[in-house]
Amino acid sequence: MSTLANSSNIFWHECPVGKTERHKLLNQKGCVVWITGLSGSGKSTLACSLSRELHSRGKLSYVLDGDNLRHGLNKGLGFSAEDRTENIRRVGEVAKLFADAGLICIASLISPYRKDRDACRAMLADANFIEVFMNMSLSLCESRDARGLYKLARAGKIKGFTGIDDPYEPPLNCEIEIQEKDGVCPTPSAMAGQVVSYLEDKGFLQDQ
């Protein structure tokens, strides 16, 4: 996915303290919770609620928010297909490092293209990549659009906006799907609870 050439003079250096030791120290297992969905689907709301719930349980997590990352790590990247791919690649690499450190990394990005998300999944052992699909209708997302981005996109003032004039490719085999009920997005605590239950069932919240 990267356009940068690889040097033949780079070698991997192993350290004596590894992932197993870090898991024991933190009493949890590192993983990536990748939250994907349309703008306004509740990704950031879920990410923050999930992080708060994990913190209350004494579990260490870190949120990688798509908008926040464009202020630093991904500053300078636009919204072309190529820039979106590089944006996701960078976040995937950082998320991989957080997971290796033993943290529960919560990545919250639209990440509209299936191939880009799958490439991030391929960076980790499959069981350690937990894809969460915020399956909210476009109409619901537009009604929740506090920043008025959909309105601007429909007026042609924002080009390449996901869901309007750029496609969103939903996951085919996500681990968790969060759906609207009667046209309403579930509460933050309910969404976080659904993800925490999955993490508990799969043994990520303890080192055993």
The 10s digit of each residue's pLDDT in 35-94 is 999 999 999 999 999 999 999 999 999 999 999 999 999 999 998 889 999 999 999 999
pLDDT at 208: 67
The answer to whether 185 and 136 have CB atoms below 8 angstroms apart is: yes
Question: Does the pLDDT at position 114 exceed 90?
Answer: yes
Is 56 one of the annotated active-site residues of the chain? Answer: no
- Band (pLDDT 50/70/90 cuts) for residue 98 is very high
- Would the CA dihedral through 17, 20, 118, 63 be positive or negative? negative
The two structure tokens encoding residue 109: 């990005």
Of the chain, the percentage scoring pLDDT greater than 90 comes to 82
Out of 56, 80, 111, 139, pick the active-site residue.
111
Taking Cα atoms as reference points, which of 134, 133, 135, 124 lies closest to residue 204?
Answer: 124
Mean pLDDT of the chain: 93
In order of their start, the domains of the chain are 19-201 (3.40.50.300)
- Band (pLDDT 50/70/90 cuts) for residue 158 is very high
pLDDT at 15: 81
pLDDT at 5: 58
- Band (pLDDT 50/70/90 cuts) for residue 18 is confident
Question: Does the pLDDT at position 7 exceed 80?
Answer: no
Question: Does the pLDDT at position 118 exceed 90?
Answer: yes
